[in-house]
A and B are shown apart, each in its own frame.
Chain A
Amino acid sequence: MTEPTETPGKVPENALLLLGCPEAPAQQAIALYMAHQFRTHGSDLLITGNPSVLNLLRVSDTEKHYIGDMKVLEKCIEEIVEKRRAADLCIVCAHNDAAIAYAATMRHLLPQSRLVVIIFGKDPEPLAASIDFPCEKIVEKAVHNPMQLKAKVNEVFGWAASRT
């Protein structure tokens, strides 16, 4: 994991969570967890991804206890390119090459933002090694069980560890 570029506990005003393919269940859990944490800490979080990943969250959190605004990926990128949306913090969940391409795109489009790439899945190390642009990396072998991923996310964002 690279050194954080900002104080871990600093609360971003606007955060963007870009989700990859929902194939790995750990992503859904960590997305809901982070949505809860950002909401609790007073950040506005926009979640973006393809329609399937957003629908998984909508069904999981029907009454929107955790998730807030969501937007389809293409629309979100359009707004960023056209300077109608920005984010202090951008988090990209990546377990395949495509998601790394999205992270690189975010690095280019949001050069001033803190960028954290969460690399997970069965074999995250080669994927993490393929990243050659500036960002913070959270690397964890996680497909079904999100607990170690959660611990690292807590560490990077300065959230108090929970036993649950």
Chain B
Amino acid sequence: MGCIENLKYEMLLPLGASFKECREYVEKNFSEVWYVDPGYKLFDEYIIGLPPIALGLDGGKIVFPYTKPCHGTYLLRIEDTDEADRVRKTARKKK
């Protein structure tokens, strides 16, 4: 996976969650939701998924789906204030 695996992350939804389940979880459980398209760069990786891809923000923490071919999609949470601010400037906010 590159650099995301090397970051300190929490796994909110484990292996086996579908991509749509991850989106629903973010939309249901986070008050600040932003949307991006596939290919959006987050933590120096290109995000995979069905557009729109929902990202949850909680202060400096970012919740996002992370997809690998053999493992499915994980919903991860990583704290990075600078990256969270960049999402707020470049993504589309849920209305």
Contacts and interface: CB of A to CB of B under 8 A. Distances in A.
Partners in one complex: yes
A50 B69 CA distance: 7
Contact of B49 (A78, A80, A105): A105
B93 interface: no
Interface in A82-106: 96-102, 104-105
Interface residues of B, number: 22
Contacts of B69: 19-21, 49-50, 53, 73, 96, 98-99, 102
B37 to A, nearest CB: 6
A81 interface: yes
A77 interface: yes
Main SS class of interface, B:
loop
Q: Which bucket holds chain A's interface residue count? A: 20 to 34
B14 interface: no
A101 B73 contact: yes
A74 interface: yes
Contacts of A133: 50
B48 A105 contact: yes
A101 B49 contact: yes
Given A108-B38, A133-B50, 12 more contacts: A50-B70, A74-B1, A77-B46, A96-B72, A97-B18, A98-B68, A98-B71, A101-B67, A101-B73, A105-B48, A105-B49, A130-B18
